[in-house]
Amino acid sequence: MATDNRVVETTYGPVRGATDGDVQTWKGIRYAAPPVADLRFRLPEPPPPWGNVVDATSYGPACPQPDFPNMPLELGAPRAEDCLRLNVWAPADARPGDAKPVMVWLHGGAYVLGSSSQPLYDAHRLVTGGDVIVVTVNYRLGALGFLDLSSFSTPRRRFDPNIGLHDVLAALRWVRDNIAAFGGDAERVTLFGESAGAGIVTTLLTVPAAAGLFAGAIAQSSPATSVYDSDRARRVAVSFLDKLGIDPSDADTLADAPIAAILAASQEVFDEVPARNPGTLAFVPIVDGELLHDYPVKLAQAGRSHPVPLIIGTNRHEAALFRLMRSPLMPITPRAITSMFTQIAAEQPDLQLPTQEQIVAAYSRLGRRARFLSIATDAGFRMPSVWLAEGHGKVAPVYLYRFDYATPLLKLLLVNAAHATELPYVWGNLGAQGDPTLRLGGTRTAKAISKRVRTRWTNFATHGKPAGPDGEPDWTPYQDVDRACLLIDKRDTLASYVDAHIRAAWGDEMVSFR
């Protein structure tokens, strides 16, 4: 049972956490002021200081978000706009001055869903197994965090772009200034995330304002090319305002709009964008010329990413989850694939891009259904990760992986190693909270894989190298000479030139794919 524990003095005021067995936690700590009223659609501001000890034994609110019946999530907390909170997990014996490595987690959810309080992200096993401090972060989602209204700013009202990215930067600055008091080392911070959270990781790798805020990065299934220009962002903003019945000249009234109306409009736009433009998302980071100067993959390939070690990879069957949920977010049908390639060619007429026929031919060994699922997986996640790895490898070591393991139940459902299926292995929470994936067996194998993954992740955070348990293969950096990739399955295997014919078919110029 959790008990009240020691008080920690932060730069804004004291917080009291709790001890639960061999772990201490401090939950719901403010790292920014409530982003409400005039601060809605604005950059995060420092929170007002407090004098009395604040109870930090329960999670703060999750960011407001729509309900998607085909993507149900247990958020672990009620929703409210006062959501800019974080949680700290530490070994029970951690004290100031211990200088333990720190891992800062960014949750996924297509930039519109999720929270740091999801039961899946309980950090007990990660903390105790790796002797690390873990920080899980809320950031603003959907229209509140990733709608670019900056072109509608007026003297009466300023709208800031890339708010969600700025939230994460504010949280990282909080970690820099405060984590030593919890027993952490501000010089050894690893930023890690999955899906949209990994997209923030790969984006911040190329954001000048993020320099020095993290010493390592882990990107699990990053949609690294899902970063758009200001013109596309403006079209999304106009559509959003139209759903609310607001003329762009009256955009300043959004500060007073009911949150329910904002969420309803967000959901409509979120559904419409990928239906109209397969392979695209409504709410994503934007090349705004201020925080983000160009597309992250392009910057990485130019050697302009922060020189920190990086683990990056994907799951073998990413797109299968979207098929199972009947989600339009990924182009998994022949018609959607054709539409995606047609739009890419139209938007980039000066590039010598491979044709759809050339791409499809590279997957001829697969059956029809598997062929298009694999193309969607590679277009959305795998190839963007490979392109970024190739660029980032010019400035720092990069460790590329592919997660291949699937339990018997996931194989039966034809989901296999789909998007997000690696998460319980990273966190060590297999079978928790009613997770059915081990119902047909595979528990012993899954636990062994989880131990290997957690060991590699925490060793990377501690030493900058993802060493596995004794007897496991050495994971060498990704380089042109061998393109080393760790295949995570029943056994870890280090392979060279994985799917070389696929990589050759996509080529290099598709890095502008978005």
Q: Are 88 and 100 in contact (CB under 8 A)?
A: no
Maximum separation of any 2 CA atoms in the chain, in Å: 66
Structure tokens at 366: 């697969």
Q: Which residue has the tokens 């302009």?
A: 304
Structure tokens at 107: 């949750």
Q: Which phi and psi angles does 376 have, rounded to 5°?
A: -65, -45
Distances (CA, A) of 202 to 106, 220, 222, 292: 12, 10, 7, 12
Segments in 7-92 forming alpha helices (H)? none
Q: Are 93 and 405 in contact (CB under 8 A)?
A: no
Segments in 280-382 forming alpha helices (H)? 296-301, 320-324, 334-347, 356-361, 368-377
Which positions are catalytic?
Answer: 195, 318, 419
Q: Are 59 and 17 in contact (CB under 8 A)?
A: no
Nearest to 224 by CA among 206, 246, 210: 206
Q: Which string of b and e fits 249-265 if b means at least 16 CB within 10 Å?
A: eebbebbeeeeeebbeb
